[in-house]
Structures are given as C-alpha cells and as structure tokens.
C-alpha cells in the first residue's frame, strides 16, 4: 500500500503519519524530516535545501525527487510507504507515479487533512519537535510527559526555525499556489479522501485508519 498524506503546514501530517505507520506497518517518508536530518549532519543535500527551507520555499524538484527516489529504492520500502510532505506540486506527483509504476506499484490513496488557517498558525506557534526522531509535540494539545524531552527517544525538543510568523505565512502561500492543484490531480484519478483535521488527534487518526483499511 502506498499512501500520500496531503495538508497545509501544521495540518498534522507528521502527527498522523507516526500513528498510522505503526498501525498499518508502512514506512514514513517525510521529505521535510529528510532535509532536516541532512541539514543537521551538514551534508551537501542539507546545505542545498537550507536557504529554501529558511524562506519557506520549495526545494528545487530535481533535488527533492532524487532524494525520494533514492529513499523508496531501499529494501524497507518494498511493502509500502506513507508519503508526508511529498509530492508538493504536479511535477513531483507525476515523478512519483512514474517511479512507482516502474516497480509495478501505484499510489492507492491520497488523504487530504483539512484544517482552517487560524488553527494552523496556532498549532505551529506551539509546536516543539524532537531533534533525534522528529516526533512533533504541542505545548497545549500534546505536551511531552517531561518538559523539553521526547517521550519516544528522550531526545531534546526544539522549535523549528521556519515556524516563525513570517515564514509560516510564506509556507501557507506556497501550499495554496503549488500543492493545492495536486488535490485535483488525485481527485481525477478517484484516489482522494478528505478528512476533517480540525478535531482531536485520536479522532483524525481513527478516521484515517477507517479510510485506509477500506482500500485493502
Ligand atoms: P515539512 O517539514 O514538510 O513542513 P510542512 O509541510 O510545512 O508541514 P509541517 O511539518 O509544518 O506540519 P505537519 O502537517 O507535519 O504538522 P504536525 O504533525 O507537525 O517541510 C518543511 C520545508 O522543507 C518546506 O517548507 C520546504 O522548504 C522543504 N520541503 C519539504 N518537502 C518538500 C518537497 N516535497 N518539495 C520541496 N521542498 C520540500 O503538527 C503541527 C502541530 O500541531 C504539532 O505541534 C502537533 O502536536 C499539533 N497537532 C497535530 N494534529 C493536531 C490536532 N488534531 N489537534 C491539535 N493539535 C494538533
Ligand atoms: Mg511535518
Ligand atoms: Zn524523539
């Protein structure tokens, strides 16, 4: 099974992916996480992505698509991936379809998690993520058991530098201009499911599992 989670910055893609991957035994492929890990290690890929991420702009397709193709060629991806933050424009969506097609696979479902803008801003301004495993927390809606420390791995929590107000505004603009068109792309292929993301984390997850189990 190969699934795409679509949603604006702060919609809860990473939060839901963490829950769903365990339930459905899928590999979580999150391009933002891959770029942040590369940046933390100061690899050429990370340094290439840095200036775009700081501005809230998309990293060029060539760089992003190559990174994803390398990732999905790894053996753990054989039984399926949960794509988070990718594809983010039509070029990426088509490249992903082509690559999966060459392996005799396809995207089974694209789930669009819908959340109003003011809630997105509230979520991003209170978000802390783990420096080691990237698990997202929120100071109000999903705080860690121990302040500043990841429940899963004990890693240090920090606030993403692109979660400041100016960059969040830019990321939202980019989402509406570049990513929203691919919602229609999956709709035309009859692969789109829309979920109300403006409810409790566990309710969103329940709905998502229902949608995904229905395609098995
Ligand atoms: P990326 O890391 O993908 O960021 P994003 O798309 O902006 O999304 P976020 O990670 O901010 O939000 P999320 O939906 O995962 O929300 P989360 O679960 O954390 O990309 C970052 C940058 O990398 C891009 O700007 C770009 O530069 C580059 N990039 C990445 N992919 C790329 C691509 N394909 N092409 C080119 N460039 C790319 O939740 C948010 C907060 O809300 C958390 O605090 C969480 O605890 C809380 N929360 C979650 N769900 C709920 C709920 N139901 N109720 C209450 N609170 C909730
Ligand atoms: Mg995320
Ligand atoms: Zn962690």
Q: pLDDT, tens digit, for every residue of 123-151?
A: 999 999 999 999 999 999 999 999 999 99
- Active-site annotation holds for 169: no
Ligand 1: lining residues by beta carbon, under 6 Å: 7, 9-15, 31-32, 35, 52-53, 56-59, 64, 85-86, 88, 92, 123, 126-127, 136-138, 141-142, 162, 171, 200-201, 204
Domain count, the chain: 1
Structural domain includes residue 205: yes
pTM of the model: 0.96
Judge whether 46 lies within some domain: no
Mean pLDDT of the 99-120 span? 96
Centre of ligand 2 from the C-alpha of residue 22, in Å: 17
Distances (CA, A) of 167 to 12, 57, 202: 18, 9, 28
- What's the 15 CA to ligand 1 centre distance in angstroms? 9
Do the domain assignments include residue 125? no
Ligand nearest to the CA of 33: 1
56 in a domain, yes or no?
A: no
pLDDT tens digits for range 41-66: 999 999 999 999 999 999 999 999 99
Q: Is the per-residue pLDDT at 216 higher than 90?
A: no
Please report whether residue 132 resides in a domain. Answer: no
- Report the CATH number at residue 22: 3.40.50.300
Domain that holds residue 171: 2-26+79-115+166-213
DSSP string, 24-39: HT-EEEEHHHHHHHHH
Is 203 inside any structural domain?
A: yes
Contacts within 8 Å (CB) and 24+ apart, 136-141: 136/14, 136/15, 136/18, 141/201
**Known active-site residue 88:** yes
Is residue 142 one of the residues assigned to a domain? no
Is 22 contained in some domain? yes
Which tens digit of pLDDT belongs to each residue from 154-206? 999 999 999 999 999 999 999 999 999 999 999 999 999 999 999 999 999 99
């Amino acid at each position: 099974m190969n699934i795409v989670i679509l949603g604006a910055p702060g919609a809860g893609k990473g939060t839901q992916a963490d829950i769903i991957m365990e339930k459905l035994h899928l590999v979580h492929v999150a391009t933002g996480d891959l770029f942040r890990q590369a940046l933390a290690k100061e690899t050429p890929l990370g340094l290439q992505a840095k200036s775009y991420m700081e501005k809230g702009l998309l990293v060029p397709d060539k760089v992003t698509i190559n990174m994803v193709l390398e990732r999905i060629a790894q053996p753990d991806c054989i039984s399926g991936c949960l794509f988070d933050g990718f594809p983010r424009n039509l070029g990426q969506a088509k490249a992903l379809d082509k690559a999966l097609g060459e392996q005799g696979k396809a995207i089974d479902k694209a789930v669009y998690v819908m959340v109003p803008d003011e809630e997105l801003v509230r979520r991003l301004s209170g978000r802390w993520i783990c420096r080691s495993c990237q698990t997202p927390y929120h100071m109000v809606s999903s705080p860690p058991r121990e302040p500043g420390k990841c429940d899963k791995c004990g890693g240090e929590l920090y606030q993403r530098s692109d979660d400041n107000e100016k960059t969040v505004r830019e990321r939202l603009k980019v989402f509406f201009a570049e990513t929203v068109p691919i919602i229609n792309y999956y709709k035309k292929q009859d692969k789109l499911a829309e979920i109300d993301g403006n409810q409790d984390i566990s309710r969103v997850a329940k709905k998502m599992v229902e949608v995904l189990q229905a395609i098995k």
